[in-house]
Structure 1
Amino acid sequence: MTKRKIAILGGGISALTTALELTATPELRAKHDVSIWQMGWRLGGKCATGRDEQGRILEHGLHFWFGCYDNAWAMLRDVYAEWEDRPSNCPYRTGFDAFEPQNYTPLWTEISPDDWGFYNVTWPTNDDERGNGHVNLSFRGMLSQLANLLRELLGRTEHDTSDHEAVLHTVSKALDNGDPGRDLHDRMAQLEAQFAPGDANAVPLSGLFRDVLALGFAFLRGAMWDIVVRGKSLDELNAVEFRDWLISHGADVEMVTHSSVVRAIYDCCFWYVNGNHSAPSCGTGTALRVILRICTTYKESVMFTIKAGMGEAVVAPMYDVLRARGVTFNFFHKTTHLHLSEDKGRIDKVTLARQAELIGDYTATKVIRGIPTWPAEPYWDQLVDGRALQQAGVDFENHWSPGYPTAPVELVRGTDFDEIVLGISIGALKRLNHEEPSLAQELLDRGGRFARMVEGTGIVPTLAAQVWLPQDTQELGWRERPATVGGPEPWDIWADMSQTLPAEGLHSGSVHYLCGAYNTTLYRAPANADAQAEAMAEVTASFEDWVTAWGHEAWPNRPEGAIPPRALYLRANIDPSECTVGAAAGEVALRLKVDETGIENLTLTGCYTKTGLNTTCVEGAVMSGKQASRAICGSPRHVPGEHYL
């Protein structure tokens, strides 16, 4: 049997998941010849990890895995079950062992102008099993569970709220019993008014409880009216910005604008246009899906943090399993041009730039303490003229790298591929300035839905920091490791990630990851600009200012002073391929399913596609990878969560 040749361009989580699914069984492996073409020296995309000369884990940013990530957890479980090349001293027996529950999530809050503190939040756990595929609860079921969560919050207050708890119990029960919703909507409106700021008759709740309950009532009321009563779909609601939607259903304008509860939702997914915190935007349907998925379908714990690098405990096992299945990896190949056939109906040829010449077969990973790791820079000694490239400061992953010699490589339809899977981030598909065409320029010039999606979907630059401190978590003033969002901008996401220290060979002190949206348009700069250096200067100054202003809030017992450079790693993620994908109001409607390119032999994969989750996250990437495989070969038949609500 002649195998069907499938060339996957890009090596992020979506692309790797596509390869896993295309080769999932001996029967599929007999049908498919899969090759992956990746720029630079490592895999993982925005989840790529590198080790520096000190053996420290260097990430693109802070990655949380939520308990609702059914597809991602199932993928990880299956990869570890098949991982025959696992080092004998690997500390993780299963993929789940590589993560730690993160139930303590204190929430930053601005008590008064320039005065910040934290609400202590500890999430309840449950006995559900991660990755079991059960996520398709009804919308009524989601609202019922959310009402019960609000009722539980009310029960924790020191005030007499029994009447309101009873109303929420009635709401939950009526939803479960199929109540049409009109009467419930009216009762919720009356109840919501009793939590409005400034109301003389308001229930005397303060801070987090007030915000969660007031906003929760607006959320429930709006969802019942628009979806249960009016019958609107979540996709229809994506034309409306989520904050505007909350206000239209009775939420207080001041609270929606300034509450940490709302800011936390936007921070988690970087829902800021061009990284500008003054321009938050998310389609209401997407916001509802994300909130309900996180809050009502999580399993075991609401969130998990990893014990090593994301590229080490997740990506490297995927790489090993795929190699064992016969998938071919071609590192140091950057896609530069997709060529359409004369009738513009197929991809006839792909041009790539070979970034480096290898001395032999490239060994991409090295085992450290039982964990397969990637280097922060290529193994220069495996490249022809590697030391010269290193001394010149070449960065194969960066658009603004110093120049280096390349050689063109052509993949031809019928010879090198039958199908193309485009697993490159949407930022790299855009034409961002007048000097440089897109690698997909012929597809953009062709017009149609693909062009509208690429041109109309926003991308968000981010910034990231990692800080190694000599004090441990308790010495800094915390009872346990915090993970928090909603903080002073732009470094508004922060977690104590000290559970990674053993993987680095460290047994004292603590390490902290911070990140956030980065307000810049430098990602549009042409390659001959000095954009990366400019961005790094801005990010460095920004972090120094943040530590001076707010470091004492994050680390109360840390001695005052700057973070020594040797204890700090900073990133300005402005390369178009590193930017996250937006979900602004009106944009989600532009997303395509993986098989809707209008090109016969071109399938998309990436969290920018229409997955059923429709926001930037690992779960969306895995879902898209599964959907891409199904578009090509019909497997897997079911992707949990894709028809969610």
Structure 2
Amino acid sequence: MSAGPPTRPRKLAVFGGGLGSLSAVFALTELPGWRERFDITVYQIGWRLGGKARSGRNLRAHARNEALGHHVWYGWYDNAFALARRVYAETRRAPGAPLATFKEAFKPCDHLLLGTGDRTDRTPPWKMSLPRGDSLPGDGAAQPSVWHFAQTLLLWAIDCIPRLHPQYATWSAIVPRWPDASRSLWPALMRRAGGQGVRAYDGFDPQRPDYDDLLRRAAAAVHGEDAPKTSRQRRAWAQPLTHCGEHSLRSLVGLGARQTHPQFTTMVDLALATVRGILHDGLDRAGFSAIDDQDLRAWLRRHGASEEALASTVLVALYADHMSYESGDAERPAAAAGALLRAALRRYLAFSGALYYIPAAGLGEVLFAPLYRLLRDRGVHFRFFHKLKHLCPDPKQPAVSAAVVGRQIELAPGVEEYEPLIKVKGLPCWPSRPLYSQIVLGDDPVIQAIDFEANESPEVEEVVLRAGVDFDDIILGIPPPALAGAARELAARDPRWEALLEHTHSIAAMGAQLWLSPTWAQLLGGPAQAGAGGIVRTELPRWVNLSTAAAYEGWPREHWPGAIASLSGPRPDRSADGSREPVRDIAETWLKSHPRALWPEASLAGADEFNWELLLDPQGRAAEHRLAAQHCWATQNASDRQIVTLPGDPRHRLAAGDSGFRNLWLAGDWVGGGLDLACAEGAVMAGLQAARAVSGDAIVIHGERDCIDSD
């Protein structure tokens, strides 16, 4: 914690208005007496907040919401949802106002639909359904330990295995199918467990085995008086069951189980490999980060996962969901094993309420507009159209002595402060373009052609903010891909910054937001149950049903959309000749190739070609030209690139409170010491860590560390 001047509040300059830095500001302004302690100013490039999660209303296209990215919030995002719920509790919109409550703003979903664009794969899409709980994300439910995850997976696998083949529905039928050597080894593992004080296998007679009774007793033992209590006992209890599960699965696969139950066979396969890996590598005592130098699929393979499971839709979709690819190339998946495994286990085994939630409109109006208004009302200052150009380290001490900022615009006469929000149907929203009436020469086509969210955008003035005068501390919420220039002197001073900039990998993203005339149910030919999912092995493998947003857009009755879809995926780095296929062409190819994979009723009668007339186009264009009326996008700016966590990357990341410069604090999903994975929860967690480091207060961060055994 750095010490500011005692006679006034510490001045905090916050650079970047993404979820990480805004979470830090929110947490600081939650502290008792914060106004006496801090004077906070947020400097934001361009005209809106939200970072990579921002969205805006296109006032030239019926105020429709246009966004970048894949905005699905999973039920395990406890810190992110706690933030959102507190924002809604404090803003207290009037009853009947649009999106007045948290429950109106975030729609729960219990089903994921996972399919493939591979036409040779005849396996139908898998609807993964998980039962909803009574709690809500943000309640602060206890975080399961690494051991609890392993135990849950193991017991689930043991429960599932007798259901994988109709002719082998009991353990007494399955175990005799094992190789003799494997069956002979099993009693030795049980005796070893008994030697560690595990009573679950007592009384087993290899000469007259009752395998079904044995497995029932072993599974029930974790809940009884004789439940294993130490780490050593728990591992000893698990080894015979893991051995049983692995050899039973292999036997049943050889008998055709994968053809009978392809998805569940794959899930059992992956579950058992995960359990074996946790036990073998001691993750129940070391935590998931211990395997971050390995790729997740390589780690699963090393612990016995089959090649069929490693190529399965569910695992490929996990990589696609986080766009975990080298250089954006889907043919080169790579992810730090611990970071991605932690996220996967929390996603499916530690969610609160529903499996995931979809914003009822764009995140701009669902989260960032109310958060902005709340922070402004609390007394936080915002300076839009201010871009960070350079951080200057003090030559005599490890501190930042100055920050060079480019002011991008002059405000129009009579405008004292830029007012960024508009209202659409009574809902405060961010526009997709600046409000030019507040800007000098705002009606000039040259000004309107400028991308004010790009680092390369012009500026009207360079401003130098000086330590001790304009700021005492800095919270940096700008990701490393956009810091190559601004942080170059930090990297020259501190080798850790050089490593951070070099080893923070990122990729561009792209997508298409589609407005269609039929409802989602009509496109499916049945009820719309899943709100999101994946169609792997396609250029745009992630999809979300955003149809609820139509009610908050400004469409006339004759052009009212029945469905809104978001498709997105990685944008590969440029080819050797520097060229890139236009996103609209990619979307056209996707719709021509995979319409039935998402919407069975979206094809022309008697053909497998997409019915282009389904796309909403007020101008009435024909065929694929109707894509011109949709929102096809690609991230162009360095700050918008998706951070990916490749094997080995986490060791180069800096913690929120360990920048190496005593008045510089870090916030964002690129910060180390938390999830080490790009997602909303990771950004909020890092923001809370920054607030804790700045303030010195004991700010509680749910799930910040893996729960591990210490004995």
TM-score, normalised via structure 2 length: 0.83
How far did 1:358 drift? 1.1
Cα–Cα, structure 1 residues 513 and 167, in superposed 2: closer, same or farther, change >3 Å? farther
Secondary structure (helix, strand or coil) at the match of 2:444 reads: helix
2:544 equivalent to 1:495: yes
Mean Cα deviation higher: 157-166 or 491-500: 157-166
Partner of 2:268: 213
2:307 equivalent to 1:263: no
Partner of 1:434: none
Preserved contact between residue 488 and residue 550 of structure 1 (Cα < 8 Å): no
How far did 1:389 drift? 5.0
How far did 1:225 drift? 2.1
2:1 equivalent to 1:16: no
Partner of 2:674: 612
Partner of 2:148: 141
Partner of 1:373: 429
How far did 1:591 drift? 1.6
Preserved contact between residue 484 and residue 493 of structure 1 (Cα < 8 Å): yes
> Could you tell me which amino acid in structure 2 is paired with residue 543 of structure 1?
A
Cα–Cα, structure 1 residues 162 and 264, in superposed 2: closer, same or farther, change >3 Å? farther
Q: Distance in 1 between matches of 2:251 and 2:592?
A: 33
Q: Distance in 2 between matches of 1:405 and 1:613?
A: 36
Preserved contact between residue 144 and residue 172 of structure 1 (Cα < 8 Å): no
Cα–Cα, structure 1 residues 405 and 232, in superposed 2: closer, same or farther, change >3 Å? closer
> Could you tell me which amino acid in structure 1 is paired with residue 296 of structure 2?
F
Structure 1 residues 28-71: Cα deviation after superposition (integer angstroms, max 9, x where no partner):
12210000000000000011110012211101122111111110
How far did 1:390 drift? 5.4
2:74 equivalent to 1:69: no
Cα–Cα, structure 1 residues 106 and 173, in superposed 2: closer, same or farther, change >3 Å? farther
Q: Distance in 2 between matches of 1:306 and 1:341?
A: 44
Alignment of 1:193-592 (within 5 A): 193-196=247-250, 199-201=253-255, 203=257, 205-227=260-282, 231-256=285-310, 258-343=311-396, 345-359=398-412, 360=415, 361-389=417-445, 393-399=449-455, 404-430=458-484, 438-477=485-524, 478-482=526-530, 483-505=532-554, 508-521=561-574, 537-558=581-602, 559=604, 560-561=611-612, 562=624, 564-592=626-654
How far did 1:220 drift? 1.6
> Could you tell me which amino acid in structure 1 is paired with residue 80 of structure 2?
A
How far did 1:202 drift? 5.6
Partner of 1:642: 704
Preserved contact between residue 523 and residue 600 of structure 2 (Cα < 8 Å): yes
Preserved contact between residue 157 and residue 245 of structure 2 (Cα < 8 Å): no
Secondary structure (helix, strand or coil) at the match of 1:105 reads: strand
Partner of 1:48: 54
> Could you tell me which amino acid in structure 2 is paired with residue 10 of structure 1?
G
Cα–Cα, structure 1 residues 471 and 329, in superposed 2: closer, same or farther, change >3 Å? same
Preserved contact between residue 283 and residue 290 of structure 2 (Cα < 8 Å): no
Alignment of 1:37-186 (within 5 A): 37-52=43-58, 53=60, 54-83=62-91, 86=93, 89-109=96-116, 113=120, 117-150=124-157, 159=166, 161-163=169-171, 167=215, 170=218, 173-174=221-222, 177-178=228-229, 179-182=233-236, 184-186=238-240
Q: Distance in 1 between matches of 2:251 and 2:651?
A: 35
Preserved contact between residue 117 and residue 553 of structure 1 (Cα < 8 Å): no
Cα–Cα, structure 1 residues 149 and 371, in superposed 2: closer, same or farther, change >3 Å? farther
Secondary structure (helix, strand or coil) at the match of 2:638 reads: coil
Q: Distance in 1 between matches of 2:368 and 2:74?
A: 17
How far did 1:273 drift? 1.4
Secondary structure (helix, strand or coil) at the match of 2:521 reads: coil
Secondary structure (helix, strand or coil) at the match of 1:314 reads: helix
Partner of 2:245: 191
Preserved contact between residue 491 and residue 497 of structure 2 (Cα < 8 Å): yes
Preserved contact between residue 12 and residue 39 of structure 2 (Cα < 8 Å): yes
Preserved contact between residue 61 and residue 465 of structure 1 (Cα < 8 Å): no
Cα–Cα, structure 1 residues 335 and 111, in superposed 2: closer, same or farther, change >3 Å? closer
Structure 1 residues 296-345: Cα deviation after superposition (integer angstroms, max 9, x where no partner):
11011110101011011111111011000110000000111111111251
Mean Cα deviation higher: 137-146 or 456-465: 137-146
Structure 1 residues 588-622: Cα deviation after superposition (integer angstroms, max 9, x where no partner):
11122111111011000111112421101111111
Partner of 2:178: none
Structure 1 residues 470-492: Cα deviation after superposition (integer angstroms, max 9, x where no partner):
11112112421531124232200
Preserved contact between residue 406 and residue 459 of structure 2 (Cα < 8 Å): no
Cα–Cα, structure 1 residues 135 and 509, in superposed 2: closer, same or farther, change >3 Å? same
Cα–Cα, structure 1 residues 168 and 479, in superposed 2: closer, same or farther, change >3 Å? farther
Preserved contact between residue 320 and residue 542 of structure 2 (Cα < 8 Å): yes
Mean Cα deviation higher: 481-490 or 205-214: 481-490
Cα–Cα, structure 1 residues 302 and 58, in superposed 2: closer, same or farther, change >3 Å? same
Cα–Cα, structure 1 residues 41 and 173, in superposed 2: closer, same or farther, change >3 Å? farther
Unmatched segments (≥5 aa) in structure 1: 431-437, 526-530
Q: Distance in 2 between matches of 1:169 and 1:443?
A: 60
Secondary structure (helix, strand or coil) at the match of 1:180 reads: helix
Cα–Cα, structure 1 residues 93 and 589, in superposed 2: closer, same or farther, change >3 Å? same
> Could you tell me which amino acid in structure 1 is paired with residue 271 of structure 2?
G
Q: Distance in 1 between matches of 2:318 and 2:116?
A: 13
How far did 1:150 drift? 4.3
Q: Distance in 2 between matches of 1:499 and 1:333?
A: 34
Mean Cα deviation higher: 600-609 or 132-141: 132-141
Mean Cα deviation higher: 581-590 or 320-329: 581-590
Partner of 2:189: none
Q: Distance in 1 between matches of 2:165 and 2:649?
A: 43
Cα–Cα, structure 1 residues 232 and 338, in superposed 2: closer, same or farther, change >3 Å? same
Cα–Cα, structure 1 residues 636 and 568, in superposed 2: closer, same or farther, change >3 Å? farther
Q: Distance in 1 between matches of 2:134 and 2:705?
A: 24
How far did 1:149 drift? 4.6
Cα–Cα, structure 1 residues 158 and 368, in superposed 2: closer, same or farther, change >3 Å? farther
How far did 1:94 drift? 2.4
Cα–Cα, structure 1 residues 114 and 152, in superposed 2: closer, same or farther, change >3 Å? closer
Secondary structure (helix, strand or coil) at the match of 1:595 reads: coil
Q: Distance in 1 between matches of 2:129 and 2:632?
A: 29
> Could you tell me which amino acid in structure 1 is paired with residue 491 of structure 2?
L
Preserved contact between residue 14 and residue 474 of structure 2 (Cα < 8 Å): yes
Preserved contact between residue 629 and residue 636 of structure 1 (Cα < 8 Å): no
Structure 1 residues 271-318: Cα deviation after superposition (integer angstroms, max 9, x where no partner):
111211111111221122111211111011110101011011111111
TM-score, normalised via structure 1 length: 0.91
Structure 1 residues 65-123: Cα deviation after superposition (integer angstroms, max 9, x where no partner):
11111101111111112116x46753233223201111121111367637674112222
Preserved contact between residue 67 and residue 299 of structure 1 (Cα < 8 Å): yes
> Could you tell me which amino acid in structure 1 is paired with residue 242 of structure 2?
M
Q: Work out which of the two has the higher radius of gyration on C-alpha atoms and give 1 or 2.
A: 2
Q: Distance in 2 between matches of 1:207 and 1:395?
A: 49
Partner of 2:36: 30
Cα–Cα, structure 1 residues 338 and 143, in superposed 2: closer, same or farther, change >3 Å? same
Cα–Cα, structure 1 residues 404 and 452, in superposed 2: closer, same or farther, change >3 Å? closer
Q: Distance in 2 between matches of 1:407 and 1:153?
A: 66
Q: Distance in 2 between matches of 1:242 and 1:311?
A: 33
Q: Distance in 1 between matches of 2:388 and 2:346?
A: 35
Cα–Cα, structure 1 residues 155 and 250, in superposed 2: closer, same or farther, change >3 Å? closer
Q: Distance in 2 between matches of 1:349 and 1:453?
A: 21
